[in-house]
Chains A and B, each alone.
Chain A
Amino acid sequence: MSDIKIEGYEFKPGFKGMAKDTGSDQTMFKGVHWGKAMMWIFLLSDTFIFSCFLISYMKGRGSTIIDWPNPSEVFGLHVFGVDVPLLLIAIMTFVLITSSGTMALAVKYGYEKNKKMCGWLILATAIGGLTFVGMQAFEWSKLIHEGVRPWENPFGAPQFGSFFFMITGFHGTHVSIGVIFLFIYAYKTFAGHYDEGKRGWFTSMKGDYVEIEILGLYWHFVDLVWVFIFAFFYLW
């Protein structure tokens, strides 16, 4: 953001500017809201969690002696008499990525103080997330119906079930938490809490549209993680 102005501080471009900001007093990331900086660092930590999961998955898949099931068969759907591989997952991914788009628009309208558009777009994002979780529940129940369990798997290595349920479950929990917050934020936007700076119920801190961007960061992260899970589980 180049439009930030700070009294008595001259920004410099490029690496020199970064060094100057780092060496300056008060803040390292100039003009960055505390909550936004916090979310970035939290996401870095969360990245390590998902990395540990995915690396464990690679190790588990690499060291098992029983064959790994073929993802195009296991995750395929039988529709209108044809076997379509990865159909459901393609729709799920599309929905989730789209919800990232609506989230980004919500942030834009939020900063423009367009309460109505912002609220509707957050609501659309929440519904996208909810659809994703719903489809995931459908996929889980389909696999469970076919006999896949965390501890066993009729199609091959039992670790498939273990890692699949654990990692998609952990990611699904992230999405669900995001959905809950999206609904709360949609309510707060419509009720005008960010316009009037109403204090939060728990934290007693004043509301601000930057909160929507912070939630947006989380939401985009959850999407990005899904892309990796998608690649490692469904395409490998």
Chain B
Amino acid sequence: MSEDFNDNKTIQAQSSEAISGGGSGIASDADYVRPAEVADQDLYHGHSFITKWIFCQDAKVIGVQYFLLATFTGIIGLILSWLMRLQLGFPELVPFMTAEHYYQFVTMHGMIMVVYFLTALFLGGFGNYLIPLMVGARDMVFPYLNMVSFWSFFVAVGVLLASFFVPGGPTGSGWTLYPPQAILEGTPGSGWGIMLMCISLILFVAGFTMGGLNYLITVLQARTRGMTLMRMPLTVWGIFTATVLAMLAFPALLVGALMMSLDNVLGTSFFMPTILKAGEVLEYGGGSPILFQHLFWFFGHPEVYIVALPAFGIISDLISVHARKNIFGYRMMVWAIVGIGALSFFVWAHHMYVSGMNPWFGFFFATTTLIIAVPTAMKVYNWILTLWRGNIRLNTVMLWCLGFIVTFVNGGITGIFLGNVSVDVPLSDTYFVIAHFHMVMGIAPLMVIMGAVYHWFPLVAGRFLDEKLGKWHFWLTFLGAYSIYFPMHYLGFIGVPRRYFEMYDSPYITSAVGMNEFISLAAFIVGAAQFILIYNIIKTLKTGKPAGHNPWQACSLEWLTPSVPPEHGNWGDRLPTVHRWAYDFSVPGAKEDFITQTTPPSEVAHTKVEKT
């Protein structure tokens, strides 16, 4: 009974709005939006528990599934980093920590965090949840394929984690998996470990391809009426471009992983040169280890932007909403995202400056690398200009946004150091590199994820996260992360090499001992601080403040669903019609400080809203 009543009320409210809206009282020509080109999407509605929550075809549930599994894997990566820091800060304290284990933890930490945590979380998690909602679709265009995508990811994670329990343990060749050492005896996990890693990566790529096709076609072909590409929120632009990168970069990883598996299992020599071991010539010969490096980094560098571009997009939306201002230079932001994406395919060999390449080659890649700084800097300036004179709400989301900008600039500047061949060569394989990439593609995207979680949790769960706990979480993470990575730059300058299990009695490095202890303690605190978020989520899921409709007064479509949290099919009976971009905040003359994307021009005729 009560449900029926509610339905009636919403319909009445809608129709009264349509009649009384606008100055003239009748909808003007400007309100006209072309009729739908495609028939409404045909959806499979699950009925049982299994089809509704496990093998579910609803992109929102799949998004949450991706989010949870990626977070679970990320926590394993976090625990591995604790174990590494334990060894680095307090060598020989833990009896079971051998050099082999250390290398295995380094490898698994890197691979998990980059691929199975950040990529899966941004594209699989946020992509699935937000793309259909933000472009006004009922669901992803191929819901079944989308479901298979998640379960491939599930199996990939299973295979990856299984490598902890096979003879020899997981591979310890570093996350770059460079041959020949990755598959030679003496490297931990050279048999089973590396094989399972390759299989897991291949499964991940296969699963991701299925998801990626969904994201791309949903954005290109399934937008709602009135939603042009240049009216999409930047979140969608970021995820879309990152998906394009992934579709073109993951093939190189797939090929590399496949060839390495064959080298390992069948004894081919794609990557294996002639090798003398203890005076004996091995069976291998004639292959090229550099070839793997090219394949790996042709994937590996776009991968950085696969993580960074969704973060750029999401942060733009968060800043705009919580500064109550339109994003500064929307078109510039879009083209910067596209430009960074395109350039990211021409910089991969800057990871290989010390592999013995032709200096002219290095010169080319240094140039392209530094050119990327241009669109990136544009984005940073635009974020700052969006904040400038904004009506800033200094809540937890905004704190994460500010934290992101600072951290990203920090990591970006060290990137300019490392992009130059002559500066990179002495800094290569030191802690400076570790500090750089953790700042720019570890902590910075993580801050975006955190901000996004605090921002969209009210949509997903219908309740706010606790602000007080959120602020504790932010400050501990922010200050703690700087305590970890600032000193690492110094460690790099004094020449502490990365990936070393222990420094033993290196006299030049005595000043590093105390610093390493400090970094480790900070790392323990920052890691532990992340559990505040988990506690916060569990606590507020039942008892948090109810959020209601559009709690942040945002303009974009995901907040305008008939029910919160949105149901399967997202939009009830009628798909939304879009009349403007997602950033009409604080428009002069408007009743409120935001105009939603679905508001027709006749309703805001007296305001100074721009045509978008």
Contacts and interface: CB of A to CB of B under 8 A. Distances in A.
B270 A60 contact: yes
Contact of B266 (A25, A35, A150): A150
A202 B141 CA distance: 15
Contacts of B268: 150-151, 158-159, 161-162, 166
Contacts of A157: 286
A161 B254 CA distance: 20
B252 interface: yes
Interface stretch (A26-34, A92-100, A135-143, A175-183): A26-34
A34 B222 contact: yes
A46 to B, nearest CB: 8
B230 interface: yes
Interface stretch (A5-13, A118-126, A216-224): A5-13
A63 interface: yes
Contacts of A6: 37
Nearest to A24: B228
Contacts, number: 148
A163 B285 CA distance: 14
Interface string B220-249: 111111111111000000000000000110
Contacts of A52: 251-252, 254-256, 295, 298
Which among B38, B221, B298 has the greatest number of chain A C-beta atoms within 10 A? B221
Contacts of A60: 270, 287-288, 291
Interface residues of A, number: 51
Given A9-B34, A59-B291, A158-B286, A26 B142 contact: no
Nearest to A63: B288
Contacts of B247: 41, 44-45, 48
A38 interface: yes
Contacts of B38: 26-27
Given A8-B35, A45-B248, A151 B286 contact: no
Given A56-B291, A202-B144, A28 B229 contact: yes
Contacts of B220: 27-29, 37
B255 A53 contact: yes
Nearest to A39: B213
Contacts of A49: 251, 254-255
Nearest to A45: B247
Nearest to A54: B255
Contacts of B53: none
B283 A151 contact: yes
B269 A158 contact: yes
Contact of A23 (B228, B283, B287): B228
**Which of A56, A63, A65 is packed against the most chain B CB atoms within 10 Å?**
A56
18 contacts: A8-B35, A22-B229, A23-B230, A25-B34, A25-B226, A26-B224, A27-B220, A29-B221, A38-B141, A41-B217, A48-B248, A63-B288, A150-B266, A151-B267, A157-B286, A166-B258, A203-B145, A205-B144
Interface of A: 6-9, 22-32, 34-35, 37-38, 41-42, 44-46, 48-49, 51-53, 56, 59-60, 63-66, 150-151, 157-159, 161-163, 166, 170, 202-206
Interface of B: 33-38, 42, 44, 141-145, 209, 212-213, 216-217, 220-231, 247-248, 250-252, 254-256, 258-259, 262, 266-270, 283, 285-288, 291, 295, 298, 578
